Amino acid sequence: MTEKEQNDVNEGQRQGPMPLPEKPNFKENCQSMRAMLENNKRFVMNLKKHPDFKNEQTSENQHGEMIANIMLCYRHLEDARMRMGKAIQAYDGGTSCYPR
């Protein structure tokens, strides 16, 4: 981790959690969070194209482990986005927005 990245991490820890988006109601806050999670999924998948994967591995199966953890991160973001949708569904009285 570079010095700048470490400073950013330290600054984030000092500031505490990110405030909620300024939206008028719970459902719109959840929809904003779902959009942010979707955007983060794209960033995570782009890591698979990082130039470091062209470098020689420094340990056995290093690149494989990196890819596996990127995919786990992606799946967790997908799950978080789905759970936020479930929160919206509960807010709407438990009815799904999708037809059966």
Alpha carbon distances (Å) from 95 to 14, 24, 34, 35, 61 = 40, 22, 18, 21, 46
Residue 8 inside a domain? The answer is no
Q: What are all long-range contacts of 85-88, with beta carbons under 8 Å and residues at least 24 apart? A: 85/30, 85/34, 87/30, 88/27, 88/30, 88/31, 88/34
Residue 32 inside a domain? The answer is yes
Residue 58 inside a domain? The answer is yes
| pLDDT at residue number 9 | 47
Residue 97 inside a domain? The answer is no
Please state the pTM of the whole predicted model.
0.71
| pLDDT at residue number 23 | 59
Q: How many domains does the chain have?
A: 1
Residue 34 inside a domain? The answer is yes
Residue 3 inside a domain? The answer is no
Q: Which residues contact 84 (CB under 8 A, 6 or more apart)?
A: 30, 33, 34, 37
Kindly list the averaged pLDDT for each block of 10 residues, start to end, along the chain of length 100.
56 57 78 93 94 94 96 97 94 78
Structural domain harbouring 39: 19-91
